A and B are shown apart, each in its own frame.
Chain A
């Protein structure tokens, strides 16, 4: 059974459309410590659809800017390069950040909401509590990508028989049911896509951050904590919400106390509300953005 599923997942990975070159380039640039805003602008400007998504988002009512932003460079300066990478990933045809996870009994937009909230939380923790060890853009994009494995497992999960299943840890349940968990499946996809090493590592270990390679441990703990933060604050992905345990060792890597964590919860929620609205407005008003062929 498990061998079977493993093969199924490998097959599925082969059928998933590759990341568009623009998204891959953006991910690579953001992983580069000394990249400039112009590096990002140059790549975005090669892609007319992404440029229009970026402009629509920045000009959405959610931000309430007085003057219309007309150029990619101004839009990217306002949104930040990590959010632009997030938009590029959302636009991906493979739907890895926003596919409806029906096997997890998740609502239609739960997957994207979870990716986005985890990303915003991860950037927040990186900026304030990582002692400069993790760059904000890396934390954000890792947050967007951390659960790509769920889209691979979703169709294999026996959603209709979940009622007979107990409340055990969901990662173990995935292993019992399918012989592989979503973190490992996500890693297989990340590896195939040749994502930056940091991304591969945190996708694989975001639920077991102590197993991450030493140089990526702080990032792994940041995604771990951001993921739990998202689930707790109402942005989970259905049945597995709240069914992942927290590794308290995070305190060694993320210097946040209880009060700081509560304030983080609040501020992350406010930023998320605004960003989610801005992005949704953009993708709603241009339903065709996803179906268009990515060149």
Chain B
């Protein structure tokens, strides 16, 4: 087993280390967005909690992983740091995401989970990216581990069998 990096809410990280693991716990309405570089074998993950950094621009600078719009560029930077400056073009990047659950809501206004996923897709699109695997929605929490060696994302949720994307 390689080194595990545990990411809290709003954290982000990258690893190019053989057998490295990126992990985040208990995603509710938050979304884990992950970028895998096929060429450098570097993987990254951010635990995104809100769609837009404009609600608190000054603080977003110190916690870019917290917001969908600032998380993606932060992941690019983290991946470059992990590889000594190399990041492949969009064609060689694989994106996966999961989380973004919603509580049931008759008025359908309390849907931060849904909006997080949407905002991430919009931001990714700006960089010519789209998620290849998307396991968002539902009304349960998810814990996520991304394995550098295989690029496989393992998801667990209390009371459910683990599954992979």
B interface with A by C-beta (< 8 Å) = 8-10, 25-30, 47, 49-52, 55-56, 59, 66, 101-107, 109-110, 112-113, 138-141, 158-161
Contact = CB atoms under 8 A, between A and B. Distances in A.
A238 B139 contact: no
B103 A228 contact: yes
Contacts of B112: 232, 262, 265
Contacts of B160: 163
A255 interface: no
Given A239-B158, A248-B107, A273-B8, A265 B49 contact: yes
Interface in A199-239: 228, 231-236, 238-239
Given A233-B28, A236-B141, A241-B141, A162 B158 contact: yes
Contact of B50 (A106, A162, A243, A266): A266
Given A233-B9, A263-B55, A245 B26 contact: no
Contact of A265 (B50, B102, B140): B50
Contacts of B51: 262
A59 to B, nearest CB: 23
A104 B107 contact: no
Contacts of A167: 138-140
Given A162-B159, A234-B49, 15 more contacts: A159-B159, A228-B110, A231-B141, A232-B28, A233-B29, A234-B26, A236-B26, A236-B28, A236-B141, A243-B139, A243-B140, A263-B56, A265-B50, A267-B56, A269-B49
B114 to A, nearest CB: 12
Contacts of A245: 103-106
Nearest to A258: B109
Nearest to B141: A241
Contacts of B47: 234
Interface of A: 104-107, 110, 159, 162-163, 165, 167, 169, 228, 231-236, 238-239, 241-246, 248, 258-259, 262-263, 265-267, 269-270, 273
B113 A232 contact: yes
A242 B103 contact: yes
